[in-house]
Amino acid sequence: MSSDRAPDERSSPHTVARSCIDGGIEAAHPATVVGDSVSLTGDELTVDGTVYDLSSYEDVVVLGGGNAAGKVTAALESVLGERLTDGVVVTDVPEPTSTVDVVDGSHPVPNERGLAGAERVLDRAGEATADTLVLGVVTGGGSALLPAPAGDVTLDDLQTVTDDLLGSGATIHEINAVRKHLSAIKGGRLAAAAAPATVVGLVFSDVVGDDLDVIASGPLVPDASTYADALDVVDRYDVALPPRVEHHLERGVDGDIAETPAPGADAFATVDTHVLANGLTALTAAGNVAADHGYTPLVLSSRVRGEAREAAKTHVGIAEEIHATGHPIAPPAVVLSGGETTVTLSDDAGAGGPNQEFALSAAIELDADADVVVGSVDTDGIDGASDAAGAIVDGETTERTSMDARTALAANEASPFLEAAGALVETGPTGTNVNDLRVLVVADAEEGGESGPRSDCSQGPLQ
């Protein structure tokens, strides 16, 4: 990608970082994605190039959940209009709709409203017949927003286990292996409930590699994990289980409870799944924005994972190499990455949002003279349990407050430090979720960077 912008018209590094973030999130917004990938001509509904004949069905129903589910549903209503019969989705970003019920749940820890919504989704799926077309909306955040505890497991149990797993350092694959075996809707069980209906999954991926069985804990796809795998995760991260949860998982291992539907199960014979947006959607758009601002973009990877503070050190090292030697790309440049990093919380620790920890760790590593600006956000607008999406930092961020940066990072208190430094990015809930978006802006050595707090970093929510 390239730009016709002259060097003296090149935008400042902080402006570029925020513009890339906004552009990436906007490209993954459901209104944009559905408008590009879903259309209706007569009776022919086209989804990502596949055509479905609506004249073959008596009902067209929308079911599902996740951070983006409300806005995906609103976009589907715009496309399908009166062809939609009804439906239920659960989200934490409600959207006005006319035909489908949108239930306001909670993320990242499930609540009573989400439980009631998930039960309604399951009930409606159970009413589907061979003459029903189910548009299954599956987006990031669906694991928390569609709890539906199985057996004797309670919502309180799920809340406790979710909290402990999120702070354990476990990967999303490991966390969801547990959640799938504590739910009546995850791990392919929503597809089983909807059979023999035709199910078309509309997926917004927030998972590295777009593993369908992990996105929202895979309610519409086969599950290869087992109860034994779930217990292995619990043991590996020394998670203390509520008695009902431990009993449920042990019964599953003993064969007293049926496993989640595995690959080849009849439940998936009429299920077709489309990934409409993922991390690369946001990264590609952010790269185009960088080029428009006069910077050469480089997508490093959409699959970065591991401990957030450690991943930051590697990213800063790459930015420093670009600044010092022009390898692997000459400045002015923007390096982009996605994926999902994790945080391992210490005892009595703070919230520990991974994008804020990434940003604070980067700020500690950055040389004040490096002319590098680093932005890191969660595209859903909520980093961990905080109200911020992430942060934008530079080599002087750690000098803008009397707090000690290393102490704050060690205590998982990145958020108050970055707030005091004026570095937080606050978008509000964005209505989408395609995982993390990281932007490293490397200016020409002779250009120099900006200093001082950036008032534009925390501008209002994206719509």
Residue 261, φ and ψ in degrees, nearest 5: -60, 130
Topology, domain 7-26+279-458: glycerate kinase, domain 1 (3.40.1480)
Cα 401 from Cα 368, distance rounded (Å): 15
Question: Cα 69 to chain center, whole Å?
Answer: 12
Give CA separation, 426 vs 31, 127, 377, in Å: 21, 41, 9
Per-residue pLDDT at 446: 57
pLDDT at residue 102, rounded to an integer: 98
- When computed from its CA atoms, the radius of gyration of the chain, rounded to whole angstroms, is 22
Confirm whether 7-26+279-458 and 27-277 share one CATH topology: no
Please count the other Cβ atoms lying within 10 Å of the Cβ belonging to residue 41.
8
User: For 413-425, what is each residue's pLDDT tens digit?
Assistant: 999 999 999 999 9
Query: pLDDT tens, 120-152?
Result: 999 999 999 999 999 999 999 999 999 999 999
27-277: CATH class: alpha beta
CB atoms within 10 A of CB 162: 20
Q: What kind and span of H or E run contains 296?
A: strand 296-307
pLDDT of residue 9: 58
Please list the helix, strand and coil fractions of the chain in percent, rounded to the nearest 5, in that order. Answer: 40, 20, 40
Q: How far apart are CA 103 and CA 238, in angstroms?
A: 34
d(CA 260, CA 201): 18
Q: What are the sequence ranges of the domains in the chain?
A: 7-26+279-458, 27-277
For residue 450, what pLDDT is reported?
A: 43
Parts of the chain with a pLDDT under 50: 1-8, 448-459, 461-463
Mention every residue, 6+ apart, whose C-beta is less than 8 A from residue 150.
181, 182, 183, 184, 248, 257
Q: Render 44-110 in DSSP notation, one character per residue.
A: EEEETTEEEEGGG-SEEEEEEESTTHHHHHHHHHHHHGGG--EEEEEESS----SSSEEEE--SSS-
Distances (CA, A) of 250 to 107, 131, 161, 239: 27, 39, 15, 15
Instruction: Provide the CA 289 distance to its chain's centre, in angstroms.
Output: 21
DSSP tag of 183: B
**What per-residue confidence (pLDDT) applies to 384?**
84
The model's pTM is 0.88
Cα–Cα distance measured from residue 146 to residue 162, given in angstroms and rounded to the nearest whole number: 13
224: number of Cβ within 10 Å: 13
**In contact, 117 and 103? CB cutoff 8 Å:** yes
The DSSP element (H or E) to which 271 belongs, if any, is strand 271-277
What does the chain come to in residues?
463
Sign of CA dihedral 436, 442, 443, 449: positive
Strand ranges, E, within 184-251: 198-204
Alpha helices in 81-188 (DSSP H): 112-126, 142-145, 155-166, 172-180
pLDDT for 344 equals 87
233, 174 Cβ separation under 8 angstroms: yes
User: What pairing do the DSSP bridges indicate for beta strands 198-204 and 132-139?
Assistant: parallel
Helices and strands: H and E segment counts in the chain: 15, 15
The distance in angstroms from the start CA to the end CA of the chain is: 27
Q: What is the pLDDT of residues 138-192, one digit of tens each?
A: 999 999 999 999 999 999 999 999 999 988 889 889 999 999 999 999 999 999 9
Render the burial of 279-318: b for 16+ CB within 10 Å, e for the rest: bbbbbbbbbbbbbbbbbbbbbbebbbbebbbebbeebbeb
Return d(Cα 364, Cα 294) in angstroms, integer.
27
Query: Exposed (0-12), middle (13-18) or buried (19+): which is 455, by Cβ within 10 Å?
Result: exposed
At residue 367, the pLDDT reads 87
| Chain mean position to CA 31 | 17
C-alpha 361/C-alpha 343 separation (Å) is 12
Residue 338's nearest CA partner among 304, 310, 381, 361 is 304
